[in-house]
Amino acid sequence: MKLRSVFGVAAAVLVCATTAFAGQDDRRDVRQDKREIRQDKRELKEDRHELRQDRKDGDKREARRDRRDARSDKRDLKRDRKDLRHDRRHA
């Protein structure tokens, strides 16, 4: 009986320690999210420039590809902004 209670207390201490140390790298998460947002903005700007150039040159296939890349980058940007808001709220 005593052995079970020792294991129970050890498990409770382990759970408390895990939750206490779980949120310590929030600043690192925020920094990483900001870096990813800057990267996504840069990629989106490049894709839009290429899209304009392809439309000007009349290259429909490349324009379609660049439009798809721009949409993907826009989605990534939205996801990173949402993640940043979440990390800041729960910091």
Task: Give the model confidence (pLDDT) of 22-81 as tens digits.
Answer: 555 678 888 998 999 999 999 999 999 999 999 999 999 999 999 999 999 999 999 999
Residue 68 located in a structural domain: yes
Residue 6 located in a structural domain: no
pLDDT tens digits for range 13-32? 677 666 555 555 678 888 99
Residue 4 located in a structural domain: no
In the chain, the number of structural domains is 1
Residue 45 tokens, joined: 């700007």
C-alpha–C-alpha distance, residues 12 and 2, integer Å = 15
pTM metric for this prediction: 0.65
Domain of residue 69: give its range.
26-89
C-alpha–C-alpha distance, residues 64 and 51, integer Å = 8
